[in-house]
A and B are shown apart, each in its own frame.
Chain A
Amino acid sequence: MELLPQLLVNGIISGTLLAIPAIGFTAIFAVLRFPNFSVASHATIGAFAGYAANVWLGLPAAPALIAAFLVAALVGLASDEIALKPLRPYGALTAAIASIALTIVLENMVRFGFGNELRGYDLPLVRDWRIAGVRVGPQQVQNLVLALIIMAAVFAALKFTRIGKAMRAVADNPTLAELKGIDPVRVGRLTVFIAMGLVGAGGMLLGLGTSIDPLTGFRFILPIFAAAVVGGLGSIPGAALGAMVVGIGEELSVLVLSPSYKSAVGFVAIVLVLAFRPRGLLGERAY
């Protein structure tokens, strides 16, 4: 079918964008061992911070992305200290449920400040290129490149920096890491900061192609969670791979079923993956 290559390209693009917040989500899981659903509101906060930098301050996309990262990272750190960290000793699920309540609070703080109006970034829009019958947007290519740069930076940091090594050590074995003199609280804070920053940047990248409102992040929470699970919760390369599977799977589903069942097809794909690999595609090693 002539549509197939086009759908594949669409899927790769949406998968790459999804990968950034999915990496943030899974990094928190790897180090702090709980699914932090407040990534939904942090993606929204990042998207709005980027909007403020782009539209109010007139910054281009790349510096606006840094603003998105920083604001979401700081809000993430602060809200984690206040709401979630004290609850973590009482179990992963208690913290997970509290993170949902936190999402309600943060999402509505954005609503309180910005209202419900749809907002668009102030970026020039260009029509898609057509390459061998397949269309792809210059802006999407730009987003794709930005996403790939971010991912490369994350992987390099994990592999080569002391902080990255400490994170991996805590993720692999917290007790052992502590014995070796790594402070788990500090590593936890750093993880939250970087992970929520990634989620915020990802929220802005996802918002660039559409328009944003206080529900922006909420629309992505299911695919983010799904991507992390498919790849293997806690595995950072897994989250990137899982995002690809979810992104491509959802787009290709249009060929099989009515698009009104798009996310259902995504879920069936997840169940199939889990049936053969109950711990996700890449298992649960952080790196």
Chain B
Amino acid sequence: MHSLNRRVFLGTAAAALSAPAILKAQSDAIKLGSLTPLTGVGGTYGPSMRDAISGVIAQVNEAGGVLGREITLVSEDTQTSPEAAVRAARKLIDVDGVSAIMGTWASSITTAVAPLAWESQTMLLCVSGADSITQLPHQGFICRTQPNSKLQIRVAGDFMVEEGATQMAWIGPQTPFAASSIEILEEIAAANGAGMESLIYEADKSTYRSEVDQILVNNPDFLMLGGYAADSTVLLRDIWQSGYEGKIIGPAYAVNQTVLDALPPEVTENVFTWEGAPAIDSGAYANVQAILGVEDVDPYSAQTYDHASLAILAMAAGGDVTGDTIRQNIRAVSQGEGQMVESAVDGLAGLEGGINYSGASGPCDFDEIGDITGTSFVFKQISGAAAAEFKRV
């Protein structure tokens, strides 16, 4: 690891710069990696996702660490670019030797990092929803806490019909799940005798007035938003200004508290959101609220809290600190027989008798390909710029 001839590769400046990192790598702290978007279009999500992970690690360290060792968080930025994310992941895996990479956002980034993870036996815990991700040949090294997009859309589509939609519409940017979202909504609309329109726009524009005009041509009464926070802010405003009186639903990660804070309250009044649901009054959710110091936790941050908790508990359960240990033991702690726990610290204390981790984003049970199962969903409605629970399914 630190023989001289290998140093030679470093060349000039990098040698001096990376020396502290090499020293740290020799200490016996356990390393976990956070790889979230801190700059670029995903930048609204990444910082708080990282903070949730770092909060879990701080709590565990305070309670004495895991396997008698301290945990260090190594954080890198994906720059919301698969190319930059791959370089960052190489550094996390090869230099820091992390046993898990947590928090990859955007399906293209997770897919780009995935082969590195399974080839080097590092666990990859992601928040990406594209159906293709868990179908990669990952040998168990990928688990995701985001319900796959088809399931999410089906649940929301049924909700729209139940709430009286007769003319549905979907508007969103081009993403891995745009086409399948539209397809599923068309199916649901057809089965219920409702109409359905869709429009795929180009992301990162500053106004969508003409797109809104176009989607409203056939007078829909229930609109679904398919984008992320930045474009949903623009879209919600344009929709409100157009005088649209029907209902709107958007994923909770797209209509999150930042969006509510950035917009005048009347724009978001009565908008529905939905997300995978934690147990009612879950201690995990309260814990994330305390860690981040916010009332309304972003779904992605709730998920990365679960990533960190699960990785730590799986290492403790397997008695080792490798990515392979996490892979082999994650299901034993996420859906094991025994006491239900909601934080890594409680889980470590109760590990002997068997535990079943239930997290801030839901029960966190995984099937054999790493998809989350048994998720229930919570629908919320916005009132006065705050989301209030409306219904669970």
Contacts and interface: CB of A to CB of B under 8 A. Distances in A.
Contacts of A7: 210, 213
Interface string B67-84: 000000000000000000
Nearest to B256: A118
Contacts of A219: 204-206
Interface string A209-220: 111011110011
Given A120-B264, A213-B230, A137 B258 contact: no
B217 A213 contact: no
Given A14-B207, A111-B43, A251-B210, A211 B262 contact: yes
Given A127-B241, A213-B230, A215-B43, A118 B207 contact: no
Interface residues of B, number: 41
Contacts of A135: 213, 241-243
B279 interface: no
B390 interface: no
B262 A119 contact: yes
A116 interface: yes
A173 interface: no
Interface string A267-284: 000000000000000000
Given A127-B241, A128-B241, A209-B207, A215 B41 contact: yes
B174 A260 contact: yes
A132 interface: no
Contact of A116 (B47, B206, B209, B263): B47
B262 A10 contact: no
B69 to A, nearest CB: 33
A116 B241 contact: no
A215 B217 CA distance: 31
A124 interface: yes
A206 interface: yes
B70 to A, nearest CB: 29
Contacts of B262: 117-120, 211
B139 interface: no
Contacts of B201: 259-260, 262
B209 A10 contact: yes
Contacts of B264: 120, 124-125
B263 A120 contact: yes
Contacts of B234: 210-211
Nearest to B171: A259
Contacts of A210: 206-207, 233-234, 237
A216 B233 CA distance: 13
A10 B39 CA distance: 31
A214 B43 contact: yes
B280 to A, nearest CB: 29
B106 to A, nearest CB: 15
A219 B209 CA distance: 16
B199 A259 contact: yes
A58 interface: no
Contacts of A260: 173-174, 200-202
Nearest to A134: B213
B240 A127 contact: yes
11 contacts: A13-B209, A14-B206, A117-B261, A125-B241, A135-B242, A210-B206, A210-B237, A215-B230, A254-B214, A259-B199, A261-B202
Q: Which 9 A-B pairs have the closest CB atoms?
A: A116-B43, A120-B262, A118-B262, A259-B201, A211-B262, A251-B210, A211-B233, A260-B200, A262-B202
Interface of A: 2-3, 6-7, 10-11, 13-14, 108, 111, 115-120, 124-125, 127-128, 130, 135, 137, 206, 209-211, 213-216, 219-220, 251, 254, 258-263
Given A108-B39, A115-B47, A259-B210, 11 more contacts: A7-B210, A111-B43, A116-B38, A137-B241, A210-B233, A215-B204, A219-B205, A251-B210, A254-B211, A259-B200, A263-B202
